[in-house]
Structures are given as C-alpha cells and as structure tokens.
Structure 1
Amino acid sequence: MHAALAVHRVVADQAANLTSITRLTREAADRGAGLVVFSETALTGFVGNDDPVHDRLLAQPVSGPVTEQLGALSSESGIWIAIGLYEW
C-alpha cells in the first residue's frame, strides 16, 4: 500500500481546514495512495496557552459531524485517513 503525507497550512477557520483536508485526501487517492496521514491538529491548529477552556473550544465530538464527514470521505475515496483531533 502506498501512503501519502499531507501537509497543509492550518488556519483559524476549521471549515477552510476541512476543505483543504478533503482536497488533499482526494488528491492522494487519485495518485494511488491507500492511506493519507495528516498532522495531529490539521483541523484546528494548536495554540498552547495552558487554558483548558480554550482547548475545549477546539474539541470535536466522536462521533460527530466532522468525524462523520471524514468517514464518508474515506469511504467515497477508498482511502484510509489518519488525522489527530481534540476529542470532546
């Protein structure tokens, strides 16, 4: 199996990041990868300010809208997606 390491510019807009993640996932699948790997905070970025209240705002429910969308993207593209995110 071929793997792809996807590196994208993470911005403060989670929807924009998800659009980039979707595009890169499809591109990796089109190039024959069976796995695409993103950074740990590819969806939200990370600002280490030691404030749990701030970090909680970045968290995603599992299972939730983002994980459901990534699961559908994985199925549709025929590729495994490895991505780290803050879990709610």
Structure 2
Amino acid sequence: MINSYRFIFLSLLFFGCAQLSREDQLQAECETNRRNGYLYMIPILQRHTTSGATETNSLVWVGNTEIGYRKCSSEAKKNQWNLRSN
C-alpha cells in the first residue's frame, strides 16, 4: 500500500515538474525581444535618422517588431508538441 502511494506521489512530482516542450521558454523570449525593441530602439530612432523623418522610422520599426513577434509566437506554438532535448 505504501509503495503504491510512493509511486503515485513520485509520478505526480515528475509530471508536475517536467517541462515537456519549450513553448513557454520560446514565448518568454519573444516577449523579451518585443519589449526590448520598444524600450531601446524607439528612442534611438526618434533621435537619429538619416532622412529626417522620425515618425516614419518609428512607424516602420513598430510594424517590423510586431511582425517579428507574431512569427516568433507562431514558431513557439509549433514547438508545443516537440519534446525538449536537454
């Protein structure tokens, strides 16, 4: 009886702690890249431009950042069922 409880406890512990896919890790990296893109690049683009059109540069950067974020999120979702290979 005690062995069956021990087996159930260890099984629950293993499956509770095991991270079978890297989806969460990849999604966190996507969020970090997006946040850093807005935090650091927008002020730089507003100050330093080659053409003088700061609004256009910022708008293009925001568009590119969002497209990159969506592609990154899509790749993270595709990786949902892939097992980790540590």
**TM-score of the aligned structures, taking structure 2 as reference length:** 0.33
Larger radius of gyration: 2
Higher fraction of strand: 1
**TM-score of the aligned structures, taking structure 1 as reference length:** 0.32
Higher relative contact order (CA 8 A, sep 6+): 2
